[in-house]
Amino acid sequence: MSAETPVTLNIDPQDLQVQTFTVEKLLEPLIIQVTTLVNCPQNPSNRRKGRSKRARVLLASVEEATWNLLDKGQKIAQEATVLKKELTTALEEVRKESEALKVSAERFADDPCYLPKREAVVQAARALLAAVTRLLILADMIDVMSLLQHVSAFQRTFESLKNVSNKSDLQKTYQKLGKELENLDYLAFKRQQDLKSPNQRDEIAGARASLKENSPLLHSICSACLEHSDVASLQASKDTVCEEIHNALNVISNASQGIQNTLAPPEPKAATLGSALDELENLIVLDPLTVTEEEIRPSLEKRLEAIISGAALLADSSCTRDFHRERIIAECNAIRQALQDLLSEYMNNTGKKERSNTLNIAIDNMCKKTRDLRRQLRKAIIDHVSDSFLDTTVPLLVLIEAAKNGREKEIKEYASIFREHTNRLIEVANLACSMSTNEDGIKIVRIAANHLETLCPQIINAALALAARPKSQVVKKTMEMYKHTWENHIHVLTEAVDDITSIDDFLAVSGMFLIF
């Protein structure tokens, strides 16, 4: 590890946003003591006089908490090889603000009921907290810089590996890359665990997994390229894997600094049919006294039409069976009518203190139709899942078999079938997400589906290379590695889809009933 590796931080030292649990935990005792010290009545009496023993005790606690942090900061500054000047300045600032708080607090303790003295303590306490926070964030930056230095070291070895000209250099460089990956992964994992942002923790976890998966693939592909430099599909595979590694390094670099990665915008929380149906069901129970047609009719009709549009997309899917399509259309028409009946009853009950029986019946009917539509949508999705995930490996095995036999003319046809199979798996996975309200489960499904989408063209390129060089052991090894990677991701996707799909839905579709 080269300590002199130049690293540029994209963190603003003046930004006092706490990004890690470590900094938060170190600040907590001081925040508690300072808050207790400055916590005073809103309207202190001007008549009361005297000294505050409690304030002096609290001041001593604040000083102790501050000196503990200063001691830690001093040790970090002494050992630091970077940001030494900034740390020294920050330490001096903490000492200065600590002394200022001590002076203000002693004056306050002598006359705790005098409001200006209390306000002076509050201002001094805020300044001390800001100075301590800045010191701790600077100390945290040292850890980030160490991680970024390992990212840079890995990047340099990665670039060397891409450009090796013989197998001896390839093996030596790959061994070096493996050691650097081990060090980088350890530091990235530590940062991942410490970050407060769940999104940034997930990003680093995904990037670490990508580096572990793609590094051995890159080694195998580079080895194949050295033997068969004339095979274009091998170079295409190499370019794709290199891009994946490059993206993973960028994600680790950005997330470790608290910078939002823009590769995949977060999904809106309520962007599923399931959550939209839940929301609609919650909105249809209203107080007749406050209901006006101008407010509720456009709002409820707009929500329902958005749901029906989503249902229509599912009904029109090539995977949806005819009888499910017809039932979905029928339920959409029924829920439209139920909403109109409900709106009419609300208008008939406008201004009344209590809902009439007919209005209650209309509400119950609307809820029933909502559940009926949900049930039909789920049944259609379960059909998709059952059909598509019944056998996920046959198209891949057929493609590989054709490639092994060098049947180049057939490869394009089998590649097209494999691509369609992958697209269908992704489509069905997204359909399963559309009826789920399990946000964490949906996130895992979409990540797994994105992995398959990225992997599909790489597998086709590997098959094309194998068809061109069916006797090459290194090309066979690369194909086998891709097959194993595909099977792993298929397993993850299948498990994730299972997790967001109710067993009751499977039983409803299959017509099975369990009697206990």
> Does 444 reside within a domain?
yes
Domain of residue 104: give its range.
21-143
Per residue in 261-273, pLDDT (tens digit) is 764 444 444 457 8
Q: What is the CATH number of the domain that holds 369?
A: 1.20.120
> Does 282 reside within a domain?
yes
Q: How far apart are CA 192 and CA 186, in angstroms?
A: 10
- Mean pLDDT, rounded, for 270-279: 77
Q: How far apart are CA 357 and CA 355, in angstroms?
A: 7
Q: What is the CATH number of the domain that holds 34?
A: 1.20.120.230
> Sign of the C-alpha dihedral, residues 439, 445, 451, 456?
negative
Does residue 302 sit in the same domain as residue 319?
yes
Secondary structure class of 17 (helix, strand, coil):
coil
> Does 187 reside within a domain?
yes
Other CB atoms within a 10 A radius of the CB of residue 269 amount to: 10
> Could you say which of 240, 265, 290 is where a domain stops?
265
Enumerate residues 6+ apart whose C-beta is below 8 A from 213.
Answer: 485
Q: What is the DSSP code string of 203-264?
A: HHHHHHHHHHHHHHHHHHHHHHHHH-TT-HHHHHHHHHHHHHHHHHHHHHHHHHTTPPP-SS
Question: Which one is predicted more confidently, 299 or 33?
Answer: 299
Does residue 498 sit in the same domain as residue 479?
yes
> Does 15 reside within a domain?
no
The single residue listed with the structure tokens 């060090």 is 183
Instruction: Indicate the Cα dihedral angle 273, 276, 277, 282, nearest 10°.
Output: 170
Does residue 254 sit in the same domain as residue 315?
no
Residues written for the chain = 516
Does residue 239 sit in the same domain as residue 120?
no
Per residue in 281-301, pLDDT (tens digit) is 888 888 777 778 888 889 899
Other CB atoms within a 10 A radius of the CB of residue 294 amount to: 7
Does residue 302 sit in the same domain as residue 248?
no
Q: How far apart are CA 157 and CA 236, in angstroms?
A: 21
Distances (CA, A) of 108 to 60, 95, 101, 104, 126: 14, 20, 10, 6, 16
Does residue 394 sit in the same domain as residue 513?
yes
> Does 409 reside within a domain?
yes
> Could you say which of 236, 265, 294 is where a domain stops?
265
Three-state helix/strand/coil letters over 340-359: HHHHHHHHHCCCCCCCCHHH
Instruction: Say how far residue 492 (Cα) sits from the centre of its chain.
Output: 16
> Does 155 reside within a domain?
no
Does residue 394 sit in the same domain as residue 507?
yes
Enumerate residues 6+ apart whose C-beta is below 8 A from 147.
Answer: 184, 187, 188, 191, 252, 256
Q: How far apart are CA 107 and CA 115, in angstroms?
A: 12
Bin 177: left if φ > 0, else alpha if -120 < ψ < 50, else beta. alpha
- Mean pLDDT, rounded, for 439-457: 93
Does residue 123 sit in the same domain as residue 72?
yes
Does residue 433 sit in the same domain as residue 493?
yes
Quote the pLDDT of residue 516: 35
167-194 helix and 232-256 helix, angle to the nearest 10 degrees: 30
pTM of the predicted structure, to 2 decimals:
0.80
Quote the pLDDT of residue 11: 63
- DSSP assignment, residue 114? -
Does residue 181 sit in the same domain as residue 124?
no
- Mean pLDDT, rounded, for 271-280: 82
Per residue in 98-123, pLDDT (tens digit) is 888 888 878 877 777 777 887 888 88
Confidence of residue 38 (pLDDT cuts 50, 70, 90): low
Nearest of 57, 74, 69 to residue 31 by alpha carbon: 69
Q: How far apart are CA 411 and CA 237, in angstroms?
A: 16
Per residue in 341-366, pLDDT (tens digit) is 999 998 888 878 788 899 899 999 99
Number of structural domains found in the chain:
4
Does residue 406 sit in the same domain as residue 303?
no
Per residue in 199-216, pLDDT (tens digit) is 999 999 999 999 999 999
Quote the pLDDT of residue 502: 65
Enumerate residues 6+ apart whose C-beta is below 8 A from 185.
Answer: 208, 211, 212
Secondary structure class of 434 (helix, strand, coil):
helix
> Does 7 reside within a domain?
no
Does residue 245 sit in the same domain as residue 283?
no
- 320 neighbors 383 (Cβ within 8 angstroms): yes
Nearest of 333, 146, 361, 158 to residue 257 by alpha carbon: 146
> Does 28 reside within a domain?
yes
Confidence of residue 12 (pLDDT cuts 50, 70, 90): low
> Could you say which of 332, 360, 386 is where a domain stops?
386
